[in-house]
Structure formats: C-alpha cells, structure tokens
Amino acid sequence: MLFRIDPASGVAIFDQLAASVRAELARGGLRAGDRLPSAREVAAALDINIHTVLKAYQELRDDGLVDLRRGRGAVVTDNAGVPAEVLAAARELVAAARRDGVSAGTLTALIREEYSA
C-alpha cells in the first residue's frame, strides 16, 4: 500500500494518511480482510511520528473502515467498500468541477458542508 503525504500541504499528515487509505478503498486496491501496514512500518517509511499514523488509523476505525486489534493491527472491515453508484457519482462530480474550474479545496468544502447538513 502506498501512502502519499505532502509535508508542505496545509492538510494534517494524519488526514493525508487516512485519505490515502480511503482512496485506495474507493479504487478497489484494498478489500475486506486486507491488513494495513503496521503503524511502526508506516512511520519509519515516511519518517513521521508513530502517533500520527495511529491517529489516522483511529480516524479510519471511527469511520468503520478498519478494525484495530492488538497483535493483528489494522484490518479493513466488511463495510469499507464504496458502492459503485457512489464512486460513479463522485467521478462525475469531479469531472464537472474540473470542467467548470472549481478547485479541489472548494469542491471538498462543498461536499463537507452538504454532508453535514
């Protein structure tokens, strides 16, 4: 699994890690039962604090995407997949936003606002 982070980004590193996992789930690169790399491995590979990785994993757990267990690590849950209809709608939305010149940040803010309404 490839984690992508941008230390210069205004987005917290733990949010970037969690977003990488969500994106991989959406693409189908991760499936129920798959294990994420250990927090130690991720922290060492990216040269970041282990607590940053653990915070990302806890956020994914809180969203119901992974199950955290001592000795087993982070395992993708059965309900982590994104329905094909939602994935298709997201792709259409992003395409429309790009076509109309809406930035990724603006689109994300709009989605968060709509989701919390």
Is residue 100's pLDDT more than 90? yes
Mark residue 54 as left, alpha or beta (left: phi above 0; alpha: psi -120 to 50; beta: remaining). Answer: alpha
DSSP state of 10: S
Condensed to tens digits (0 to 9), the pLDDT of residues 4-33 reads 889 888 899 999 999 999 888 888 888 889
How much is the average pLDDT of 73-82? 83
Predicted TM-score (pTM) of the model is: 0.71
Is residue 107's pLDDT more than 90? yes
pLDDT averaged over every residue in the chain = 89
- Write down the residue that tokens 């491995």 correspond to: 41
In angstroms, the Cα distances linking 100 to 6, 77, 80, 106 are 26, 36, 31, 12
Alpha-carbon gap, residue 52 to 42, rounded angstroms? 10
> What's the CATH code, domain 13-76?
1.10.10.10
Closest CA to 13 of 38, 47, 36, 40: 47
